Amino acid sequence: MFWWDTWLEEEPLVHHYNNITSLNNIRVSQFLVKGHWNESMVRRHAPPLLVPKILNTAIHYQENAPNKAMWKLNDNGIFSCS
């Protein structure tokens, strides 16, 4: 998910923006056209300070490829589903 997953930084984008509701489940792939960022859509939806960082992030998108769940280690070493 564009706002809720940690795909750009160490935390989800929602932590940088106050106007996102839990119902906003837009996918990163919806911001892409033929595997490249749709700049006008990114500028319309993303916080202005993050637009350059998003547009400079390479996304290796493969249409119709299944999503893969990925985890990162917690600092304390204890497993969490959050």
- 32-56: pLDDT as tens digits: 998 899 999 999 988 888 899 999 9
This prediction has a pTM of 0.68
Q: Residue 4: its pLDDT value, please? A: 83
Domain tally, the chain: 1
Residue 70: give the domain boundaries.
Answer: 1-82
- 5-29: pLDDT as tens digits: 887 877 888 887 777 776 778 888 8
Of residues 75, 78, 49, 69, the one with CA closest to residue 7: 69
